[in-house]
Every structure is written in C-alpha cells, then in structure tokens.
C-alpha cells in the first residue's frame, strides 16, 4: 500500500516502491510511534525518516539493520510506542503545572 502511495507522490511507478522495506516502513512508523494516539504515527514517521537519513550518511549499507534494532528495542521496552509515553508525560505536566490558579 505504501509503495502505491509513493507512486502517486513521485508520479512514476518503480519496482523498488513495491519492495518489502517500503511496504513495512509504514507499519514500523505506526508501531514505533504508537497506534493509540493521533500524533504517535506522525512521531514514528519523523523518527524513522530522520534515522534513515542520519544513519545512511555514515553507513549507507547498514541502515536497515540499525532500524531493525531500533524496532526491536521499541517493541521490547516501549510497549505502546513513543507516543503513549509522551502523552503520559504531557498529562503529568498539565496536572502539575496547569492546575495552579493564582
């Protein structure tokens, strides 16, 4: 699905757009960011695109391996994704500092 959407974005259909990496990248963005919030998948997309860009500068052949490691760590330790933990943190900040009426 993401490969087809990339074809609409770029205006051309290339076989590499239908690769397994392209197809799973959208799913990884949702899993890493967290599916329970609205901004979680957006956060996951930003994180994956930035990681891909930065890592491919230093090790162009190995960025999928490092991305897989980030995915495994996020599945093991961040069960709800980054978005759910940021939402909890935001609620704590709002409860602590937002309810002070002076």
**pLDDT for 101:** 56
**pLDDT for 99:** 60
Q: What does the alpha-carbon distance between residue 101 and residue 60 come to, in Å, rounded to a whole number? A: 53
Which residues span the domain enclosing 6?
Answer: 2-98
How many domains is the chain partitioned into structurally? 1
What's this model's pTM, rounded to 2 decimal places?
0.67
Instruction: Tell me the mean pLDDT per 10 residues along the chain, length 102.
Output: 72 75 80 82 88 88 85 84 83 77 52
Give the residue among 37, 35, 33 at the shortest CA–CA distance from 50. Answer: 33
């Amino acid at each position: 699905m993401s490969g087809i959407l990339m074809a609409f974005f770029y205006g051309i259909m290339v076989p590499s757009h239908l690769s397994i990496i392209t197809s799973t990248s959208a799913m990884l963005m949702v899993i890493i960011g967290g599916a329970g919030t609205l901004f979680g998948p957006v956060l996951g997309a930003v994180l994956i695109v930035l990681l891909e860009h930065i890592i491919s500068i230093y090790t162009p052949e190995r960025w999928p391996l490092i991305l897989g490691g980030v995915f495994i760590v996020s599945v093991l330790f961040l069960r709800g994704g980054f978005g759910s933990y940021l939402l909890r943190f935001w609620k704590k900040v709002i409860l602590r500092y937002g309810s002070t009426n002076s």
